[in-house]
Chains A and B, each alone.
Chain A
Amino acid sequence: MGAFLRIYERYKSDVLTLAAALLGHRDGAEDVLHDVFVSLAEGLPRRQPPVNLKGYLLTSAANRVRDTYRRARREPGALDEAVPVADPKADDPAALVAEGERARHLWNSVLSLPEEQRDVVAFKIYGGLTFKEVAERTRAPMNTVQSRYRYALEKLRQMLQQENVQ
């Protein structure tokens, strides 16, 4: 059980974030997280985890989203709580609060992206895939994938600017 807990603690955030970004919602993402890790636990006594464990878990999560959860996907709803992994200004309470709010806003902006753009951002940023791999996954030409990524970043930048203005 110790080995499983170490794996879970290390990768749970990566898997949850990718699933949520692909689904556009956190509730379903936690179900994906549950299924991915319980499936891993079922196999652990019989075989060693793959060498590229993170890649294996993220691919499992993406496959589960595609095969099961997207059919019942809901529209983005309540605000999600996203926090930076590492906070270099943790000793500055004012900066911490500001970054937390900005992170939450950025995350919810990601969830509000059109599905095609969100998929590209999810696979590229949280799945660690190259543009070529994203193109294969989403069955879209690589140029289209690159354009979608560029549009998505531009849209996110505008959303953040609007928030700052408000």
Chain B
Amino acid sequence: MSDLERLEQELQALRLTPSKSTDARIVTSASRALAQAAESGVTSLSPGKAEMRLHLRRRVLVAAAIAAFLLVLVSLVVQPWPTKKVVERMSAFSLLSQAWAAEGPLFTGGGVVSIEREIIVTAVSDPDLARMRWLPIMAMEASGTPRVHQLTLPAKPDEQYTVRDQTWYEPATGRFVRLLTTQEKPIFANSYDGRSVYSLESDPSGALRPVGRPVAETFRAPTSPAELLGMSAGLSDLLKRKDEGLVLLPGEVILSDGSRARVVKAGFPPAGPGESDSYWLFRIRVKDDLVAEMEWMAAGESVLVVRRVGTKKVEVPKVGWDLAGVELPAPKVEKRPTPAVTPDMVVSNVSVARMVEKADFETYILAANPSWTSRREITDILDIVSPPHRMFAITYLADDGRHVVLVQSPSYNTGLGPFSKQGNLVYTSPTGVKVWSGPRDKWLAGILLQSARAVIKVSPAEDRTGYLLETPAGTFPALAINGQVTEAELHSLVDSLIPAREYQEGGPGAEPAPKP
């Protein structure tokens, strides 16, 4: 070691320590600042502190459920692989579109492209937030159909960990491997070796094993691999939503690697003062237009960060195209919450029979489609807040744009129920379905309609209407109409609600019974 290198080491070891009086001054000032900030947060809410905390927790749950609903529905549009659109520059929308387009060239050229990302599950103090984090994760089936799974990323409060997300792709053949690991243990893998599609599946003992299935004749490797393997895979519909849900934040930020980035916020504004906010921040690097980081914010806290680590060319992937070489440790009972993949976050256009079969609560449906609508579509979604329960969104498409969306889920039943009492009872149907109306009606309608964008294809109307329903079964479906309805139309809608089970068993408009 040279003299100068030794000197550098000595310099690096030098540190000043604040005087005790400075320590005391800072701790006192910080304590006051923390108390003031906390106090200002409390006074804007009502009524007692304990009740406020309970409400806040529920709001967090609801906000997360809503964000989840938004994201899983937007992911529907990846069927089939979408084409890119040319859009105008200088807006949040075009910036995200540019970032999306910039990812395409990463999957081109000779050799094998190796891409690495990391998913940082950040330390949060709220136990509900710590428990409920997740990401949509795309996988390919042997039939060639993309599937949307849920990667759950739970943690204990104040716990932080990182998931390593590695992808290899061979542009010449379309072969790919995607492998997610935490502490060197695999939690998800999906690959295509030119003949079969492989994935990690649990055997009866709980151990993960690679399972290969020969591809179908109709199988085609993805023409847009970024949509399957890219950073924003599963979130592509954000790029089609040129509306108030996307905001380009002013200025630039400096990323941890020193590069400059613009920030796009994607989400919904809170319902009102003191309400929880839940949104994504996309940090788009100025020098290459790539999304360098995605950060999920909820209730004012950073709950998840997805960060691009690097891209390089290699000769062969670290593991086989058939997942050979993936190290599979013996299963063991973990005392702490661990990341896991739950299949099928979203299944579109399902039957009433499937809804009845999959739901573990009483679902309701309109006995007849509203007179101004022409078609019904049911979407089966994982209830993010309480997996493995399912959430169901029934959309009635209208010719005049006044689409109707009815959403039901266990988390809505527990999370939205208490809010109903904050509104007014405006109607009770002959069958006992209550209609509640409150100050959050329009906000809730906006969320439901935005979330159904993949089906209804239009922005929520300014004059949209929404209601919270309470059924005799004790469930709380949320209803939105993309426009104004008359009192008679609303009453007709609610009067028409019947248990889906009854509908299936021969009510008006009943579907044929499912084959055993």
> Which A residues lie at the B interface, using CB under 8 A?
1, 3-5, 8, 12-14, 16-17, 20, 26, 29-30, 33-34, 37-38, 40-48, 50-52, 55, 59, 80-86, 102-103, 106-107, 110, 121, 125, 129-130, 132-133, 136, 153-154, 156-157, 160
Contacts and interface: CB of A to CB of B under 8 A. Distances in A.
B256 A52 contact: yes
B16 A17 contact: yes
19 contacts: A8-B26, A12-B18, A12-B26, A13-B17, A16-B16, A16-B18, A29-B16, A33-B22, A38-B29, A42-B33, A42-B37, A47-B300, A47-B302, A51-B120, A86-B13, A103-B10, A103-B14, A106-B10, A153-B7
Contacts of A153: 4, 7-8
Chain A CB within 10 A, most for which of B12, B25, B34, B300 = B34
A46 B270 CA distance: 14
A132 B256 contact: no
Interface in B103-145: 120, 122-125
A129 to B, nearest CB: 7
B91 interface: no
Nearest to B39: A45
Contacts of A81: 16-17
B15 A45 contact: no
Given A16-B16, A85-B13, A157-B4, A41 B30 contact: yes
Contacts, number: 135
Contacts of A125: 8, 11-12
Contacts of A85: 13-15
Interface string B265-301: 0000000000000000000000000000000010011
Interface of B: 3-4, 7-8, 10-19, 22-23, 25-27, 29-31, 33-34, 36-38, 41, 120, 122-125, 158, 254, 256, 258, 297, 300-303, 305
Given A46-B300, A83-B17, A85-B13, A33 B26 contact: yes
Given A82-B16, A153-B8, A34 B33 contact: no
Given A34-B22, A48-B301, A14 B37 contact: no
Given A153-B4, A154-B4, A130 B33 contact: no
Contacts of B18: 12-13, 16, 30, 33
Nearest to B303: A48
Chain A CB within 10 A, most for which of B11, B22, B120, B305 = B11
Nearest to A125: B11
A38 B8 contact: no
Given A5-B27, A38-B29, A48-B302, A156 B17 contact: no
A35 B158 CA distance: 26
Contacts of B11: 106, 110, 121, 125, 156
A107 B14 contact: yes
A152 to B, nearest CB: 10
B31 A1 contact: yes
Contacts of B12: 125
Nearest to A45: B37
A9 B17 CA distance: 10
A37 B409 CA distance: 44
Given A4-B34, A34-B29, A46-B300, A16 B256 contact: no
A40 B37 CA distance: 11
Given A8-B26, A107-B16, A154-B4, 9 more contacts: A3-B158, A5-B27, A16-B15, A34-B25, A48-B301, A51-B122, A51-B256, A103-B10, A153-B4
Contacts of B297: 47
Contacts of B26: 8, 12, 33-34, 37-38
Contacts of A13: 15-18
Contacts of B13: 84-86, 103
A16 B17 contact: yes
A130 B15 contact: no
B282 to A, nearest CB: 15
Nearest to A37: B26
Contacts of B123: 48
B14 A106 contact: yes
Given A45-B38, A153-B4, A157-B4, A3 B125 contact: yes
Chain B CB within 10 A, most for which of A1, A30, A84, A125 = A30
Closest 10 CB pairs of A and B: A41-B30, A48-B302, A48-B301, A45-B37, A13-B15, A52-B256, A41-B33, A84-B13, A133-B258, A42-B33
A82 B258 contact: no
Contact of B7 (A20, A52, A156): A156
A48 B256 contact: no
Nearest to B256: A52
